[in-house]
Amino acid sequence: MFEPTIPFGEPELMRVSAFERYLHEPGGPRALGEVADSSLRGATLSPSLLADLSRFERAGQASEVLDVLAACVRHSQQVVIHLQMGEAVVPLTVFARERLVHCPISLDALLRERPTELRVMHVEPAVLRPPGDEELSLVADEQHYHSLGPVLWELALRGSRGTLLPEIAGPVAYRVAPGFAMGGLRAGGLLRAAVQRLQGDRSSLREMADWPGFDSSRAARLLNALYLQSGLIISRSHRNAIGESWFGALGR
């Protein structure tokens, strides 16, 4: 017998096979001849968000969860991201302006099940509304709403992306923004020490990769996590950034 993909006590979710049939059935989001066959085509997603998400398709890459979440936050969109988790599909609704997410299962269940294996199946405009919305019939049970910050933090540190998000990549130096607080974000002593170090001085990705306990991937994950918490200052004129640009040019 196979192990269940949904922990005991969690609600039943749509199976991947059933969701794939829904996507391609007549009238579905990806019905032949109606909408382009893409996980990122939503009927009324904003043109700016679609353009941002389409970068991954043009590069021939599968859409990573963190990239899609980052784009939704950047464009302040309310969307539902259908995530494949094992053989089940989890609809994760993102309310960027309110900094909230809605998830029908517990976040522990979502994030402890190998977040590197979560896969974006489809993105579309949200149907649910955040707490306090006047459309009361579209507001779900309060227990299923959570702060967006910890979700972004966990997926940045433990998800599949081990390189910098495009928005913060390049010959730059990084520093933690004044007043940034870890709050309820989970971080061990090594990460907290790195955050404190970045509060004191700017560093490039190359320099961070040489810190004790770090490498390029771990440094990139931390920088992505800080960026998505609005806790990162990026400098393109600092000496560290200029130095990295110079050595990068020598290597090409």
Question: Among the three residues 109, 134, 158, which one is the final residue of a domain in this structure?
Answer: 158
129 and 26 within one domain:
yes
Task: Decide: 168 and 234 in contact? Cβ < 8 Å.
Answer: yes
Give me the pLDDT at residue 242, please: 46
Give helix then strand counts, H and E, for the chain. 9, 8
Q: How far is it, in rounded angstroms, from Cα 39 to Cα 81?
A: 10
226 and 243 within one domain:
yes
Task: Decide: 89 and 118 in contact? Cβ < 8 Å.
Answer: no
The position carrying tokens 């998505």 is: 228
111 and 50 within one domain:
yes
231 and 116 within one domain:
no
The two tokens of residue 74 are: 């950047």
Q: How far is it, in rounded angstroms, from Cα 158 to Cα 44?
A: 31
Please report whether residue 120 resides in a domain: yes
Q: How far is it, in rounded angstroms, from Cα 13 to Cα 144?
A: 14
19 and 126 within one domain:
yes
Nearest to 201 by CA among 166, 247, 235: 235
Phi, psi of 243 (to 5 degrees): -60, -40
235 and 174 within one domain:
yes
Please report whether residue 6 resides in a domain: no
Please report whether residue 8 resides in a domain: no
Q: How far is it, in rounded angstroms, from Cα 235 to Cα 242?
A: 10
150 and 78 within one domain:
yes
What is the chain's pLDDT, residue by residue, as a tens digit (252 residues)?
A: 334 444 444 567 999 999 989 888 876 676 544 433 345 454 578 888 888 777 766 555 557 899 999 999 999 989 999 999 989 999 999 999 999 999 999 998 888 767 888 999 999 999 999 999 999 999 999 999 999 999 999 999 999 999 999 999 999 999 999 989 888 898 989 999 999 999 989 999 999 999 999 999 999 999 999 999 999 999 986 555 544 433 333 332
Q: How far is it, in rounded angstroms, from Cα 182 to Cα 240?
A: 25
Please report whether residue 4 resides in a domain: no
Give me the pLDDT at residue 114, please: 74
Residues 38-64: tens digit of each pLDDT: 454 545 788 888 887 777 665 555 578
Q: What domain range is 58 assigned to?
A: 14-158
Q: How far is it, in rounded angstroms, from Cα 228 to Cα 177?
A: 12
238 and 212 within one domain:
yes
Give me the pLDDT at residue 24, please: 82
In this prediction the pTM is 0.82
Give me the pLDDT at residue 161, please: 92
Question: Among the three residues 142, 158, 174, which one is the final residue of a domain in this structure?
Answer: 158
Q: How far is it, in rounded angstroms, from Cα 162 to Cα 4?
A: 28
Residues 170-202: tens digit of each pLDDT: 999 999 999 898 888 989 899 999 999 999 899
Domain count, the chain: 2
Please report whether residue 9 resides in a domain: no
Give me the pLDDT at residue 2, please: 32
Q: How far is it, in rounded angstroms, from Cα 234 to Cα 216?
A: 17
109 and 52 within one domain:
yes
84 and 46 within one domain:
yes
189 and 125 within one domain:
no
